[in-house]
Chains A and B, each alone.
Chain A
Amino acid sequence: MTMSVSRIAQAVAVKDLRIELRSRIVTNQVLPFSGLVMVMFAFALDSDDVLQGVAGGLVWLATIFSLFILVQRSFAIEVSDGALDSLRVAGVNPQGIFLGKSISLFVQLIALEVVLLLTAVVLYRVSLGGAGLVLLVTCVVSATAGLAFVGTLYGGLTAGARGRETLLPLLLLPVVAPVLISATRATEAAFTSNGVTVSEGWPWVAVLAVFAAVFGLGGLLSFGSLIEE
Protein backbone atom coordinates (compact mmCIF):
# COMPACT_ATOMS: atom_id res chain seq x y z
CA MET A 1 0.00 0.00 0.00
CA THR A 2 1.40 3.41 -0.97
CA MET A 3 0.98 5.96 1.80
CA SER A 4 0.04 9.55 1.14
CA VAL A 5 2.76 12.20 1.34
CA SER A 6 0.91 14.02 4.13
CA ARG A 7 0.61 10.88 6.28
CA ILE A 8 4.34 10.14 5.91
CA ALA A 9 5.21 13.79 6.58
CA GLN A 10 3.12 13.74 9.76
CA ALA A 11 4.76 10.51 10.98
CA VAL A 12 8.28 11.82 10.28
CA ALA A 13 7.58 15.21 11.94
CA VAL A 14 6.03 13.63 15.05
CA LYS A 15 8.92 11.17 15.30
CA ASP A 16 11.56 13.90 14.98
CA LEU A 17 9.87 16.20 17.49
CA ARG A 18 9.41 13.34 19.96
CA ILE A 19 13.11 12.51 19.70
CA GLU A 20 14.02 16.17 20.25
CA LEU A 21 11.72 16.44 23.26
CA ARG A 22 13.45 13.43 24.81
CA SER A 23 17.03 14.32 23.93
CA ARG A 24 16.49 18.03 24.83
CA ILE A 25 19.19 19.12 22.40
CA VAL A 26 17.27 22.30 21.57
CA THR A 27 16.63 23.34 25.16
CA ASN A 28 19.96 22.23 26.64
CA GLN A 29 22.35 23.11 23.83
CA VAL A 30 20.93 25.19 20.98
CA LEU A 31 18.99 27.67 23.10
CA PRO A 32 21.87 28.43 25.50
CA PHE A 33 24.24 28.74 22.51
CA SER A 34 22.05 31.26 20.67
CA GLY A 35 21.28 33.09 23.95
CA LEU A 36 25.02 33.41 24.54
CA VAL A 37 25.50 34.91 21.08
CA MET A 38 22.87 37.57 21.91
CA VAL A 39 24.30 38.35 25.35
CA MET A 40 27.92 38.51 24.15
CA PHE A 41 27.00 41.01 21.44
CA ALA A 42 25.13 43.06 24.05
CA PHE A 43 28.34 43.28 26.12
CA ALA A 44 30.60 43.79 23.11
CA LEU A 45 28.59 46.64 21.57
CA ASP A 46 27.50 48.09 24.93
CA SER A 47 25.44 50.92 23.47
CA ASP A 48 21.64 50.99 23.37
CA ASP A 49 21.57 52.93 20.11
CA VAL A 50 23.89 50.51 18.34
CA LEU A 51 22.15 47.45 19.80
CA GLN A 52 18.71 48.69 18.74
CA GLY A 53 20.09 49.24 15.25
CA VAL A 54 21.57 45.75 14.91
CA ALA A 55 19.01 43.78 16.97
CA GLY A 56 17.29 42.30 13.91
CA GLY A 57 20.56 41.17 12.37
CA LEU A 58 21.74 39.56 15.60
CA VAL A 59 18.50 37.61 16.01
CA TRP A 60 18.80 36.18 12.51
CA LEU A 61 22.53 35.55 12.77
CA ALA A 62 21.97 33.55 15.97
CA THR A 63 19.10 31.71 14.25
CA ILE A 64 21.25 30.73 11.28
CA PHE A 65 24.10 29.52 13.51
CA SER A 66 21.54 27.43 15.39
CA LEU A 67 20.09 26.17 12.11
CA PHE A 68 23.41 24.41 11.36
CA ILE A 69 23.24 22.53 14.66
CA LEU A 70 19.57 21.63 14.23
CA VAL A 71 20.04 20.35 10.67
CA GLN A 72 23.09 18.28 11.69
CA ARG A 73 21.06 16.82 14.53
CA SER A 74 18.01 16.19 12.34
CA PHE A 75 20.02 14.01 9.96
CA ALA A 76 22.31 12.48 12.60
CA ILE A 77 19.28 10.64 14.02
CA GLU A 78 18.56 9.25 10.55
CA VAL A 79 22.07 8.07 9.67
CA SER A 80 23.44 6.96 13.06
CA ASP A 81 21.75 3.54 12.86
CA GLY A 82 21.02 3.48 9.12
CA ALA A 83 17.36 4.58 9.36
CA LEU A 84 17.59 6.76 6.24
CA ASP A 85 18.87 3.74 4.32
CA SER A 86 15.97 1.68 5.62
CA LEU A 87 13.48 4.35 4.56
CA ARG A 88 15.00 4.36 1.07
CA VAL A 89 14.95 0.56 0.82
CA ALA A 90 11.33 0.54 1.96
CA GLY A 91 10.46 2.89 -0.90
CA VAL A 92 8.96 5.45 1.50
CA ASN A 93 8.00 8.53 -0.53
CA PRO A 94 10.96 10.97 -0.19
CA GLN A 95 8.61 13.94 -0.53
CA GLY A 96 6.95 12.87 2.71
CA ILE A 97 10.34 12.56 4.42
CA PHE A 98 11.35 16.02 3.13
CA LEU A 99 8.12 17.65 4.28
CA GLY A 100 8.16 15.89 7.66
CA LYS A 101 11.72 16.88 8.44
CA SER A 102 11.04 20.45 7.26
CA ILE A 103 7.98 20.71 9.54
CA SER A 104 9.98 19.45 12.52
CA LEU A 105 12.78 21.92 11.79
CA PHE A 106 10.23 24.72 11.33
CA VAL A 107 8.67 24.07 14.76
CA GLN A 108 12.06 23.96 16.50
CA LEU A 109 13.25 27.15 14.76
CA ILE A 110 10.04 29.03 15.59
CA ALA A 111 10.43 28.12 19.29
CA LEU A 112 14.02 29.33 19.18
CA GLU A 113 13.17 32.59 17.37
CA VAL A 114 10.42 33.47 19.84
CA VAL A 115 12.96 33.26 22.67
CA LEU A 116 15.57 35.22 20.68
CA LEU A 117 13.10 37.98 19.77
CA LEU A 118 11.95 38.28 23.37
CA THR A 119 15.61 38.46 24.41
CA ALA A 120 16.14 41.27 21.88
CA VAL A 121 13.15 43.18 23.23
CA VAL A 122 14.36 42.85 26.82
CA LEU A 123 18.12 43.08 26.32
CA TYR A 124 18.34 45.56 23.47
CA ARG A 125 15.21 47.55 24.43
CA VAL A 126 13.74 47.54 20.94
CA SER A 127 10.16 48.76 20.54
CA LEU A 128 7.42 46.94 18.69
CA GLY A 129 4.05 48.45 17.68
CA GLY A 130 0.90 46.73 16.34
CA ALA A 131 1.81 47.13 12.65
CA GLY A 132 5.38 46.10 13.42
CA LEU A 133 4.15 42.97 15.17
CA VAL A 134 2.13 41.88 12.12
CA LEU A 135 5.18 42.45 9.91
CA LEU A 136 7.43 40.60 12.35
CA VAL A 137 5.14 37.55 12.58
CA THR A 138 4.85 37.33 8.78
CA CYS A 139 8.62 37.75 8.43
CA VAL A 140 9.35 35.06 11.03
CA VAL A 141 6.96 32.55 9.44
CA SER A 142 8.20 33.06 5.87
CA ALA A 143 11.90 33.23 6.81
CA THR A 144 11.61 30.14 8.99
CA ALA A 145 9.81 28.20 6.26
CA GLY A 146 12.65 29.06 3.87
CA LEU A 147 15.32 28.08 6.40
CA ALA A 148 13.54 24.81 7.21
CA PHE A 149 13.22 23.85 3.54
CA VAL A 150 16.77 24.78 2.55
CA GLY A 151 18.18 23.22 5.74
CA THR A 152 16.42 19.92 5.07
CA LEU A 153 17.49 19.95 1.43
CA TYR A 154 21.17 20.51 2.25
CA GLY A 155 20.98 18.20 5.27
CA GLY A 156 19.83 15.42 2.92
CA LEU A 157 22.55 16.30 0.42
CA THR A 158 25.33 16.04 3.01
CA ALA A 159 23.82 13.23 5.12
CA GLY A 160 25.96 10.51 3.59
CA ALA A 161 29.05 12.64 2.95
CA ARG A 162 32.35 12.37 4.75
CA GLY A 163 33.07 15.46 6.88
CA ARG A 164 29.40 16.46 6.77
CA GLU A 165 29.73 18.43 10.03
CA THR A 166 31.98 21.00 8.34
CA LEU A 167 30.59 20.61 4.83
CA LEU A 168 27.05 21.61 5.80
CA PRO A 169 27.81 25.16 7.07
CA LEU A 170 30.16 25.71 4.15
CA LEU A 171 27.46 24.86 1.62
CA LEU A 172 24.51 26.27 3.50
CA LEU A 173 25.80 29.68 4.61
CA PRO A 174 26.00 31.26 1.12
CA VAL A 175 22.58 29.85 0.22
CA VAL A 176 20.85 31.31 3.29
CA ALA A 177 22.43 34.75 2.76
CA PRO A 178 19.23 36.08 1.06
CA VAL A 179 17.23 35.00 4.14
CA LEU A 180 19.70 36.66 6.50
CA ILE A 181 19.60 39.92 4.55
CA SER A 182 15.84 40.02 3.89
CA ALA A 183 14.81 38.90 7.37
CA THR A 184 17.21 41.42 8.95
CA ARG A 185 15.78 44.27 6.85
CA ALA A 186 12.18 43.23 7.57
CA THR A 187 12.89 42.88 11.32
CA GLU A 188 14.58 46.30 11.38
CA ALA A 189 11.42 47.73 9.82
CA ALA A 190 9.25 45.91 12.38
CA PHE A 191 11.38 47.38 15.20
CA THR A 192 11.49 50.75 13.34
CA SER A 193 15.27 50.71 13.90
CA ASN A 194 17.62 53.10 12.06
CA GLY A 195 14.70 55.33 11.02
CA VAL A 196 13.12 52.63 8.83
CA THR A 197 9.31 52.56 8.64
CA VAL A 198 7.20 49.41 8.97
CA SER A 199 5.93 49.62 5.38
CA GLU A 200 9.50 49.38 4.07
CA GLY A 201 9.71 45.86 5.48
CA TRP A 202 7.02 44.25 3.33
CA PRO A 203 9.05 43.97 0.08
CA TRP A 204 11.65 42.02 2.07
CA VAL A 205 8.94 39.65 3.32
CA ALA A 206 7.99 39.06 -0.31
CA VAL A 207 11.61 38.04 -1.01
CA LEU A 208 11.44 35.61 1.94
CA ALA A 209 8.17 34.13 0.66
CA VAL A 210 9.66 33.60 -2.82
CA PHE A 211 12.76 31.98 -1.26
CA ALA A 212 10.57 29.61 0.79
CA ALA A 213 8.45 28.73 -2.24
CA VAL A 214 11.49 28.05 -4.45
CA PHE A 215 13.27 25.83 -1.92
CA GLY A 216 10.03 24.14 -0.83
CA LEU A 217 9.23 23.17 -4.40
CA GLY A 218 12.86 22.40 -5.25
CA GLY A 219 13.13 20.18 -2.18
CA LEU A 220 9.96 18.27 -2.97
CA LEU A 221 11.20 17.58 -6.49
CA SER A 222 14.83 16.77 -5.77
CA PHE A 223 15.08 15.31 -2.25
CA GLY A 224 14.61 11.73 -3.49
CA SER A 225 17.56 12.01 -5.87
CA LEU A 226 19.72 13.72 -3.24
CA ILE A 227 19.43 10.92 -0.70
CA GLU A 228 20.12 8.20 -3.29
CA GLU A 229 23.58 6.61 -3.33
Chain B
Amino acid sequence: MMQPTRVIDFVDAVAVYNDYPALAGVTFSVDRQEIVLLQGPNGAGKTTLLRACAGLIPVVRGSAHVLGVDIAIDRESIRERVGLLGHQNGLFAELTIAENVDFWSTVVGATRAERDAAMQRMSIDGKLANRRVSELSAGQKRRCALACLVVRRAEIWLLDEPHAGLDAKGRDEIDLILKEAASAGATIVVASHEVERAQQLASRTVSLVAGHVRGVS
Protein backbone atom coordinates (compact mmCIF):
# COMPACT_ATOMS: atom_id res chain seq x y z
CA MET B 1 0.00 0.00 0.00
CA MET B 2 1.29 3.47 -0.86
CA GLN B 3 2.17 5.51 2.21
CA PRO B 4 0.59 9.00 2.21
CA THR B 5 3.15 11.71 1.40
CA ARG B 6 1.75 14.24 3.87
CA VAL B 7 2.32 12.88 7.38
CA ILE B 8 1.41 15.96 9.45
CA ASP B 9 -1.43 18.23 8.37
CA PHE B 10 -2.80 20.92 10.69
CA VAL B 11 -5.41 23.40 9.42
CA ASP B 12 -6.38 26.32 11.66
CA ALA B 13 -5.61 24.14 14.70
CA VAL B 14 -6.16 25.49 18.20
CA ALA B 15 -4.61 23.87 21.28
CA VAL B 16 -4.89 25.08 24.85
CA TYR B 17 -2.09 24.65 27.36
CA ASN B 18 -2.57 25.70 30.99
CA ASP B 19 -5.73 27.66 30.05
CA TYR B 20 -3.74 29.61 27.44
CA PRO B 21 -4.32 29.14 23.68
CA ALA B 22 -0.72 28.20 22.92
CA LEU B 23 -1.71 27.35 19.33
CA ALA B 24 -4.17 29.96 18.09
CA GLY B 25 -5.07 28.66 14.63
CA VAL B 26 -1.98 27.00 13.18
CA THR B 27 -1.87 25.77 9.59
CA PHE B 28 1.15 23.56 9.14
CA SER B 29 2.12 20.48 7.15
CA VAL B 30 5.08 18.13 6.84
CA ASP B 31 5.77 15.55 4.13
CA ARG B 32 7.32 12.13 4.64
CA GLN B 33 11.13 12.12 5.09
CA GLU B 34 11.20 15.89 5.37
CA ILE B 35 13.22 17.72 8.03
CA VAL B 36 11.33 20.82 9.13
CA LEU B 37 12.58 23.49 11.52
CA LEU B 38 10.20 25.26 13.88
CA GLN B 39 11.56 28.56 15.05
CA GLY B 40 10.27 31.45 17.08
CA PRO B 41 10.72 33.23 20.38
CA ASN B 42 10.00 31.63 23.76
CA GLY B 43 6.25 31.16 24.21
CA ALA B 44 5.62 31.10 20.45
CA GLY B 45 4.02 27.65 20.68
CA LYS B 46 6.85 25.46 19.33
CA THR B 47 6.77 22.96 22.19
CA THR B 48 2.96 22.92 22.23
CA LEU B 49 2.90 22.20 18.50
CA LEU B 50 5.33 19.29 18.96
CA ARG B 51 3.31 17.93 21.89
CA ALA B 52 0.07 18.29 19.92
CA CYS B 53 1.67 16.37 17.01
CA ALA B 54 2.61 13.63 19.51
CA GLY B 55 -0.99 13.44 20.73
CA LEU B 56 -0.11 14.69 24.20
CA ILE B 57 -2.13 17.91 24.00
CA PRO B 58 -5.63 17.88 22.48
CA VAL B 59 -6.46 20.00 19.45
CA VAL B 60 -9.73 21.63 20.42
CA ARG B 61 -10.58 23.41 17.16
CA GLY B 62 -9.62 23.19 13.52
CA SER B 63 -8.37 19.98 11.96
CA ALA B 64 -5.23 18.03 12.77
CA HIS B 65 -4.10 14.83 11.07
CA VAL B 66 -0.95 12.89 11.89
CA LEU B 67 -0.09 9.85 9.76
CA GLY B 68 -3.59 10.03 8.35
CA VAL B 69 -5.27 9.87 11.77
CA ASP B 70 -7.55 12.69 12.92
CA ILE B 71 -5.91 13.43 16.29
CA ALA B 72 -8.74 15.74 17.34
CA ILE B 73 -10.76 12.50 17.63
CA ASP B 74 -8.14 9.84 18.33
CA ARG B 75 -4.86 10.92 19.93
CA GLU B 76 -3.81 7.51 21.20
CA SER B 77 -3.50 5.39 18.08
CA ILE B 78 -0.65 7.48 16.63
CA ARG B 79 1.49 7.41 19.76
CA GLU B 80 3.29 4.17 18.94
CA ARG B 81 4.36 5.68 15.60
CA VAL B 82 5.55 9.07 16.84
CA GLY B 83 8.61 9.79 18.98
CA LEU B 84 8.99 12.97 21.03
CA LEU B 85 12.29 14.01 22.53
CA GLY B 86 11.71 17.11 24.61
CA HIS B 87 14.00 19.14 26.83
CA GLN B 88 14.38 16.03 28.96
CA ASN B 89 15.80 12.74 27.72
CA GLY B 90 13.33 10.34 29.38
CA LEU B 91 16.18 8.19 30.73
CA PHE B 92 16.76 6.46 34.07
CA ALA B 93 19.92 7.89 35.62
CA GLU B 94 20.72 4.84 37.79
CA LEU B 95 20.66 2.47 34.81
CA THR B 96 23.33 1.99 32.16
CA ILE B 97 22.76 2.98 28.53
CA ALA B 98 22.30 -0.69 27.62
CA GLU B 99 19.72 -1.18 30.39
CA ASN B 100 17.80 1.91 29.30
CA VAL B 101 17.70 0.73 25.68
CA ASP B 102 16.83 -2.82 26.82
CA PHE B 103 13.93 -1.45 28.87
CA TRP B 104 12.55 0.44 25.89
CA SER B 105 13.07 -2.56 23.61
CA THR B 106 11.03 -4.72 25.98
CA VAL B 107 8.12 -2.33 26.48
CA VAL B 108 7.73 -1.64 22.76
CA GLY B 109 8.43 -5.21 21.64
CA ALA B 110 11.64 -4.58 19.69
CA THR B 111 13.87 -7.53 18.84
CA ARG B 112 17.45 -8.02 20.04
CA ALA B 113 18.66 -7.26 16.50
CA GLU B 114 16.72 -3.97 16.43
CA ARG B 115 18.14 -3.04 19.83
CA ASP B 116 21.71 -3.76 18.68
CA ALA B 117 21.14 -1.85 15.44
CA ALA B 118 19.87 1.20 17.35
CA MET B 119 22.92 1.19 19.61
CA GLN B 120 25.22 0.82 16.63
CA ARG B 121 23.47 3.64 14.77
CA MET B 122 24.13 5.95 17.72
CA SER B 123 27.78 4.81 17.92
CA ILE B 124 27.24 3.31 21.37
CA ASP B 125 29.93 0.65 21.78
CA GLY B 126 30.35 -1.95 24.54
CA LYS B 127 32.29 0.21 26.97
CA LEU B 128 29.98 3.22 26.66
CA ALA B 129 26.89 0.99 26.77
CA ASN B 130 27.81 -0.20 30.26
CA ARG B 131 28.15 3.28 31.76
CA ARG B 132 25.38 4.65 33.93
CA VAL B 133 23.40 7.55 32.47
CA SER B 134 24.25 9.65 35.54
CA GLU B 135 27.94 9.48 34.51
CA LEU B 136 27.41 10.59 30.90
CA SER B 137 27.95 13.93 29.17
CA ALA B 138 24.94 15.81 27.79
CA GLY B 139 25.79 14.64 24.26
CA GLN B 140 26.06 11.00 25.29
CA LYS B 141 22.71 11.23 27.09
CA ARG B 142 21.15 12.68 23.93
CA ARG B 143 22.57 9.81 21.87
CA CYS B 144 21.16 7.31 24.36
CA ALA B 145 17.74 9.02 24.18
CA LEU B 146 17.87 8.89 20.38
CA ALA B 147 18.77 5.18 20.51
CA CYS B 148 15.60 4.67 22.60
CA LEU B 149 13.68 6.61 19.92
CA VAL B 150 15.13 4.44 17.14
CA VAL B 151 14.28 1.23 18.97
CA ARG B 152 10.66 2.41 19.09
CA ARG B 153 10.62 2.53 15.26
CA ALA B 154 9.09 6.02 15.38
CA GLU B 155 8.08 7.21 11.91
CA ILE B 156 7.99 10.86 12.98
CA TRP B 157 10.68 12.32 15.24
CA LEU B 158 9.62 15.43 17.13
CA LEU B 159 12.68 17.03 18.70
CA ASP B 160 12.57 20.00 21.05
CA GLU B 161 15.92 21.82 21.23
CA PRO B 162 18.01 18.75 20.36
CA HIS B 163 21.22 20.81 20.39
CA ALA B 164 20.66 22.35 23.84
CA GLY B 165 23.50 21.82 26.28
CA LEU B 166 25.78 20.16 23.72
CA ASP B 167 29.28 21.17 22.68
CA ALA B 168 30.19 21.65 18.98
CA LYS B 169 31.14 17.98 18.56
CA GLY B 170 27.90 16.83 20.17
CA ARG B 171 25.86 19.13 17.93
CA ASP B 172 27.60 17.81 14.82
CA GLU B 173 26.89 14.25 15.95
CA ILE B 174 23.19 15.01 16.43
CA ASP B 175 22.98 16.65 12.97
CA LEU B 176 24.58 13.61 11.38
CA ILE B 177 22.19 11.27 13.20
CA LEU B 178 19.18 13.30 12.07
CA LYS B 179 20.32 13.36 8.44
CA GLU B 180 20.86 9.59 8.50
CA ALA B 181 17.45 9.05 10.15
CA ALA B 182 15.71 11.12 7.45
CA SER B 183 17.55 9.17 4.73
CA ALA B 184 16.40 5.95 6.40
CA GLY B 185 12.75 7.06 6.17
CA ALA B 186 12.04 9.12 9.29
CA THR B 187 10.21 12.45 9.15
CA ILE B 188 11.75 14.97 11.51
CA VAL B 189 10.39 18.16 13.05
CA VAL B 190 12.93 20.15 15.06
CA ALA B 191 12.13 23.09 17.32
CA SER B 192 15.28 25.09 17.87
CA HIS B 193 16.68 28.47 18.79
CA GLU B 194 19.84 27.55 16.90
CA VAL B 195 18.36 28.75 13.64
CA GLU B 196 21.51 28.85 11.49
CA ARG B 197 22.58 25.35 12.41
CA ALA B 198 19.08 23.89 12.12
CA GLN B 199 18.45 25.64 8.78
CA GLN B 200 21.43 23.78 7.29
CA LEU B 201 19.70 20.59 8.34
CA ALA B 202 16.11 21.43 7.41
CA SER B 203 14.44 21.68 4.03
CA ARG B 204 11.91 24.21 5.34
CA THR B 205 11.64 26.65 8.24
CA VAL B 206 8.31 27.43 9.86
CA SER B 207 8.24 30.59 11.98
CA LEU B 208 5.83 30.71 14.89
CA VAL B 209 4.85 33.84 16.81
CA ALA B 210 2.28 33.88 19.62
CA GLY B 211 0.67 30.63 18.52
CA HIS B 212 0.40 31.60 14.83
CA VAL B 213 2.48 30.62 11.81
CA ARG B 214 4.11 33.86 10.64
CA GLY B 215 6.04 32.52 7.69
CA VAL B 216 7.42 29.49 5.88
CA SER B 217 10.75 29.64 4.03
Contacts and interface: CB of A to CB of B under 8 A. Distances in A.
Real binding pair: yes
Interface of A: 1-3, 7-8, 10-12, 15, 18-19, 22-23, 77, 80-83, 85-92, 96, 229
B99 A7 contact: no
Interface of B: 54-57, 76-77, 79-80, 82-84, 86-95, 99, 103-104, 106-109, 148, 152
Contact of A11 (B77, B86, B106, B148): B106
Given A19-B92, A229-B56, A90 B79 contact: yes
Contacts, number: 84
B207 to A, nearest CB: 25
17 contacts: A1-B109, A2-B109, A3-B108, A7-B107, A15-B103, A19-B94, A22-B94, A22-B95, A82-B90, A85-B84, A86-B90, A86-B148, A88-B56, A89-B54, A90-B80, A90-B104, A91-B77
Given A85-B88, A229-B56, A229-B57, A90 B107 contact: yes
A154 B89 CA distance: 25
A19 B93 CA distance: 9
Looking at chain B's contact residues, the main secondary structure is loop
Contacts of B84: 85-86, 89
Contact of B107 (A82, A92, A229): A92
Contacts of A88: 56, 79
A85 B103 CA distance: 15
Contacts of A22: 94-95
A77 B54 CA distance: 22
Given A15-B103, A19-B94, A229-B56, A90 B108 contact: yes
Contacts of B88: 81-82, 85
A8 B107 contact: yes
